[in-house]
């Protein structure tokens, strides 16, 4: 008699019971103690008691119950974006911060993890299951899903189709444009090139995210006169030409290829134009105080006496990773410093502002299978949130933090509490070879098998350097994005809107509803009356108070 499927599975289950649980088998101790896990901090003794967890929960309930009251309408909106900030990245980054402070780490709370409201956003774009940073930027800044690789245009525009994108009916406005239309200020901050996909979602209409300079448009066989490059749009088109703050990397798209920039890097433009100079001339001619800065010292100077318009381009390409900049002696500002400079400039407008702040290189580190750098960039983002929180009045400022898309980094194994988040799992594979707590399903970290066995990556010469590549299952030159939902954290006026699970393209409408901006404002009765209500009421109150004092 042939064994039936049932008898087969029963005997497998019996076998599993003999070894414990087939799905959660007993740990296999590593042959050699991993150097990394030897550093593990032990959990607080108090965690062994029920009382500890009860009081932890009660403190959390109290925190929710004494939730501060917020204004009905947000005056300021700051949107923080972690490019590629997947949920496993959030969890691992918090562990890294705790471990750097000598604690186990899993219990750590990062700045945005104190926000009372969280949600989940669905990130697919119109033509792709798994999106890129251009279609997602269009979703979370313009409120419309569109095609992979396209920016600020509807899904009627296929990627690379200059002619289709020349039709103004396909162009989308961003929440930054909505803010400007309401008389508020707007600004963008990023650690990538300022013409890169995420920040460009705030100001560009382009059939291809790659058209950062006119030479890129030409290289794609298109005419920059018909489809202006992204840098040109930032300086010369609405709404970019009204942004009070523009901070990031990417000087090369602004300078002619016949010139070298402040750090001796060549420009990329073929049209001979210097867009940084054009920006300056525009401001001067309009009589607007302005500053162009290109290094940290320049930016810190601008923080002290903020001009009305601030342009900072700190690299020819992307800015350095925070870890690189620290090592190189900090000649580039941190994301927190750029955020502070932006808020100081934008806060000069009493009507308020919209600010976009991106930690853009979490994504790059993941593409290279470098978890340490990805987590460190995430902590730089958390520090920028802390800075914004210190500088802005809580009652009237809506802070939102999210990601554009996920990545394929796994946070896996059954390591003991406090195990080095950047180290090997406490466990071994069934092949007796170690595996990393943070590893990838694909990417350049793939290692060919040696004598039919997985490579022991901990024997790499460079392990565990900051820029070391973890292992990946499928060889790919660049690790891919992931398709699952990303987290959204919110605090401030109308924060409750951000709970639940929704399309990513709802985000700017939620923020706009909260702040009485854009198309969403027309649907909210409060917005028509609220237009000048907050400042006017405050002025009236101040006048009455002054009168009262005089008597
Ligand atoms: C620089 O731009 C000119 C057009 O102005 C072009 O002919 C030339 O090939 C460019 N040089 C480089 C190195 O890209
Ligand atoms: Zn990416």
Element at 311 (helix H, strand E): strand 309-313
Residue 30, pLDDT score: 54
Residue from 215, 253, 259, 266 whose mutation best tests the ligand 1 pocket (most atoms within 8 A of CB) = 215
Which residue CA neighbors atom 13 of ligand 1 most closely?
257
269 Cα nearest atom in ligand 1: 2
Residue from 253, 257, 271 whose mutation best tests the ligand 1 pocket (most atoms within 8 A of CB) = 257
Q: What is the CA(167)–ligand 1 centre distance, in A?
A: 29
**Per-residue DSSP letter, 225:** T
Q: What is the CA(231)–ligand 1 centre distance, in A?
A: 18
Structure confidence by residue, pLDDT tens digits, 122-159: 999 999 999 999 999 999 999 999 999 999 999 999 99
Residue 4, pLDDT score: 52
- Cα–Cα distances in Å, from 518 out to 26, 314, 494? 57, 32, 16
396 catalytic, yes or no? no
Q: Which ligand is nearest to the CA of 268?
A: 1
Structure confidence by residue, pLDDT tens digits, 53-88: 999 999 999 999 998 899 999 999 999 999 999 999
List, in order, residues 6 or more apart from 44 with CB less than 8 Å away: 52
Which residue CA neighbors atom 7 of ligand 1 most closely?
270
| C-alpha dihedral sign at 175, 289, 283, 297 | negative
258 Cα nearest atom in ligand 1: 1
Q: Which ligand is nearest to the CA of 269?
A: 1
**Architecture of domain 75-88+112-408+480-548 in CATH?**
3-Layer(aba) Sandwich (3.40)
| Partners of 440 in beta bridges | 409, 472
266 Cα nearest atom in ligand 1: 13
The CB-based long-range contact list for 460-467 (8 Å cut-off, 24+ gap) reads 464/36, 464/372, 464/422, 464/423, 466/323, 466/370, 466/372, 466/373, 466/376, 467/368, 467/370, 467/372, 467/373
Residues 390, 484 contacting (CB under 8 angstroms): no
What are the extents of the domains in the chain? 75-88+112-408+480-548
Which residue CA neighbors atom 2 of ligand 1 most closely?
270
Residue 35, pLDDT score: 47
Which residue CA neighbors atom 14 of ligand 1 most closely?
257
**Per-residue DSSP letter, 197:** H
Q: What is the CA(479)–ligand 2 centre distance, in A?
A: 8
Residue 548, pLDDT score: 47
Q: Which ligand is nearest to the CA of 135?
A: 2
- Ligand 1, residues at Cβ distance < 6 Å: 257, 270
Three-state DSSP state, 177: helix
Q: What is the CA(209)–ligand 1 centre distance, in A?
A: 21
Q: What is the CA(161)–ligand 1 centre distance, in A?
A: 24
Distance CA 359, CA 383 (A): 11
Residue 24, pLDDT score: 73
Distance CA 237, CA 367 (A): 32
Residue 551, pLDDT score: 38
Residue 268, pLDDT score: 98
Which residue CA neighbors atom 8 of ligand 1 most closely?
270
Region of 146 (left: φ > 0; alpha: ψ -120 to 50; beta: rest) is beta
Instruction: Give the number of other CB atoms < 10 A from CB of residue 128.
Output: 15
Q: What is the CA(200)–ligand 2 centre distance, in A?
A: 15
Residue from 259, 270, 274 whose mutation best tests the ligand 1 pocket (most atoms within 8 A of CB) = 270
From the candidates 133, 397, 415, 505, give the one annotated as an active-site residue. 133
Distance CA 133, CA 460 (A): 32
Distance CA 339, CA 30 (A): 45
Distance CA 255, CA 274 (A): 5
Which residue stretches of the chain have pLDDT < 50?
1-3, 5-6, 8, 10, 12-14, 16-17, 31-36, 531-533, 537-538, 541-542, 545, 548-551
| Partners of 260 in beta bridges | 266
Which residue CA neighbors atom 12 of ligand 1 most closely?
257
List strand residue ranges (DSSP E) for 114-195, in order. Answer: 117-122, 185-193
Structure confidence by residue, pLDDT tens digits, 1-54: 444 544 545 454 445 445 567 777 766 655 444 444 556 789 999 999 999 999
Q: Which ligand is nearest to the CA of 133?
A: 2
Residues 400, 488 contacting (CB under 8 angstroms): yes
Residues 313, 332 contacting (CB under 8 angstroms): no
Residue 329, pLDDT score: 86
Residue 38, pLDDT score: 53
257 Cα nearest atom in ligand 1: 1
Q: What is the CA(354)–ligand 1 centre distance, in A?
A: 38
Which residue CA neighbors atom 3 of ligand 1 most closely?
270
């Amino acid at each position: 008699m042939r064994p039936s499927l049932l008898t087969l599975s029963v005997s497998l289950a019996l076998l599993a019971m003999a070894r414990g649980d087939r799905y959660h088998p007993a740990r296999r101790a590593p042959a050699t103690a991993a150097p990394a896990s030897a550093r593990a901090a032990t959990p607080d003794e108090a965690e062994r008691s029920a009382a500890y967890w009860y009081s932890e929960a009660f403190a959390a309930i109290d925190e929710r119950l004494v939730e501060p009251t917020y204004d009905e309408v947000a005056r300021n909106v700051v949107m923080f974006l972690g490019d590629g900030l997947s949920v496993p990245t959030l969890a691992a980054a918090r562990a890294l911060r705790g471990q750097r402070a000598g604690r186990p780490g899993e219990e750590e709370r990062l700045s945005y993890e104190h926000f009372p409201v969280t949600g989940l956003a669905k990130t697919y774009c119109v033509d792709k299951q798994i999106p890129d940073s251009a279609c997602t930027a269009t979703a979370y800044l313009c409120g419309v899903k569109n095609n992979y690789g396209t920016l600020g245009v509807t899904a009627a525009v296929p990627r690379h189709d200059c002619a289709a994108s020349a039709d103004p009916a396909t162009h989308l406005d961003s929440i930054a444009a909505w803010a400007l239309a309401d008389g508020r200020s707007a600004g963008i901050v990023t650690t990538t090139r300022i013409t890169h996909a995420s920040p460009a979602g705030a100001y560009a209409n382009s059939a291809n995210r790659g058209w950062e300079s006119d030479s890129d448009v030409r290289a794609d066989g298109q005419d920059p006169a018909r489809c202006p490059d992204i840098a040109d749009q930032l300086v010369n088109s609405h709404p970019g030409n009204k942004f009070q703050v523009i901070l990031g990397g990417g000087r090369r798209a602004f300078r002619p290829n016949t010139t070298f920039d402040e750090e001796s890097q060549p420009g990329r433009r073929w049209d001979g134009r210097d867009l940084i100079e054009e920006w300056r001339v525009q401001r001067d001619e309009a009589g607007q105080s302005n500053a162009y800065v290109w290094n940290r010292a320049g930016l810190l100077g601008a923080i002290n006496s903020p001009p009305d318009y601030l342009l900072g381009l700190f690299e020819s390409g992307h800015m350095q990773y925070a870890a690189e900049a620290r090592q190189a002696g900090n000649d580039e500002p941190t994301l927190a410093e750029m955020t502070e400079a932006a808020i100081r400039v934008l806060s000069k407008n009493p009507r308020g502002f919209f600010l976009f702040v991106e930690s853009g290189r979490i994504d790059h580190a993941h593409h290279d299978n470098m978890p340490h750098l990805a987590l460190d960039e995430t902590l730089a983002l958390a520090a920028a949130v802390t800075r914004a929180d210190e500088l802005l009045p809580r009652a009237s400022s809506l802070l939102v933090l999210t990601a554009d898309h996920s990545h394929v980094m796994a946070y896996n194994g059954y390591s003991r509490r406090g195990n080095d988040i950047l180290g090997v799992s406490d466990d071994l594979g069934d092949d007796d070879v170690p595996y990393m707590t943070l590893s990838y399903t694909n990417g350049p970290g793939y290692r060919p098998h040696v004598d039919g066995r997985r490579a022991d990556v901990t024997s790499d010469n460079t392990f565990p350097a900051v820029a070391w590549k973890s292992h990946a299952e499928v060889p790919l030159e660049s690790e891919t994005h992931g398709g699952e939902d990303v987290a959204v954290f919110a605090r401030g006026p109308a924060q409750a809107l951000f709970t639940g699970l929704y399309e990513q393209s709802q985000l700017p409408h939620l923020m706009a509803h909260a702040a009485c901006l854009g198309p969403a404002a027309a649907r909210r009765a409060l917005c028509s009356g609220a237009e000048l209500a907050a400042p006017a009421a405050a002025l009236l109150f101040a006048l009455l108070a002054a009168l009262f004092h005089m008597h």
